[in-house]
Amino acid sequence: PGENETKVNLEELKTSVLYSGPVDPAEWVGLRKSYPLLVYLRNNLLMLAILAFEVTIYRHQEYYRCRNNLTTPVTKTIFHDITRAHLDDGLVNCVKYFINYFFYKFGLETCFLLSVNVIGQRMDFYAMIHAFWLIAVLYRRRRKAIAEIWPKYCCFLACIITFQYFLCIGIPPAPCKDYPWRSGNANFNSNIIKWLYFPDFIVRPNPVFLVYDFMLLLCASLQRQTFEDENKAAVRIIAGDNVEICMNLDAASFSQHNPVPDFIHCR
């Protein structure tokens, strides 16, 4: 580009995809020459193997239940004979209970921790949006109020990760057209482009950030299912309810409101 076409210095232009070397249009759609071919396809084959293994297990379970006239368990757990009543019945049963229902009890807190992790790892414009959403969710305070806004939060996460995916792909470099924020009239530098997570041929968006967003979306989706399970009587009987206990109760008389044995004020 000429002197009036861009404000990028020569050192940065050498790292640009447009000017560092010949551009292969096939790489934009995910195709490139590779040898050996098996190394190039091993991740795809691994995903197919995992999906086939999952389908085999589910089909085998369905066939086994139909053959033996068994009903599908209410909760998808490992230890079906462990309920809320076994939580305080020894350390082994406590471990089994939390293997079954850890996310049922602490899924919301896990989502909050993952949201803070996304903010700390990204530290960009989208991290600020995640922070606003975290404040909005925490402002509801009550669990029932958070459950009402949670589907909107999941929708936001799904939309924003899709949008960022297209930002990481960007426009194809084959037409040799640079982005408008790299023109001579734009007051953008590489740090601002990186913070705004704009597509760019010099400072390309970091796709690793999408992994953090995906983990948050995965846990948020599981928590949405947990909120739905909390409204089912069968799940509450087996796993226990997540009803909030008033914080103004006297500690000495707490046992009359809590069905769990009191190990502190039992004297």
Q: Could you tell me which residues come within 8 angstroms of residue 116 by beta carbon, excluding any fewer than 6 positions away?
A: 134
pLDDT mean over 226-251? 78
**Is residue 42's pLDDT more than 80?**
yes
Identify the band that residue 266 occupies on the pLDDT scale cut at 50, 70 and 90. Answer: low
pLDDT at residue 39, as a whole number:
85
* Token pair 């400072």: residue: 203
Max avg pLDDT among 34-43, 89-98, 220-229, 240-249: 220-229
Number of other residues whose CB lies within 10 A of the CB of residue 209: 20
- pLDDT tens profile 111-143: 999 999 999 999 999 999 999 999 999 998 888
pLDDT at residue 11, as a whole number:
74
- pLDDT tens profile 165-212: 999 998 888 887 888 888 777 778 888 889 999 998 888 899 999 999
pLDDT at residue 212, as a whole number:
95
**Is residue 22's pLDDT more than 70?**
yes
Query: For 184, which DSSP code?
Result: T
Identify the band that residue 258 occupies on the pLDDT scale cut at 50, 70 and 90. Answer: low
Note whether 137 and 153 are within 8 A (CB): yes
Identify which of 222, 144, 210, 114 has the alpha carbon closest to the alpha carbon of residue 133.
Answer: 114
Extract the tokens encoding 128.
Answer: 């600020």
Identify which of 105, 102, 110 has the alpha carbon closest to the alpha carbon of residue 220.
Answer: 110
pLDDT at residue 45, as a whole number:
95
pTM: 0.81
Fill in the amino acid letter for 211. Answer: V
**Is residue 251's pLDDT more than 60?**
no
Fill in the amino acid letter for 136. Answer: A
Number of other residues whose CB lies within 10 A of the CB of residue 126: 21
Q: How deeply is 217 buried, as exposed, middle or buried, from its count of CB atoms within 10 A (0-12, 13-18, 19+)? A: buried
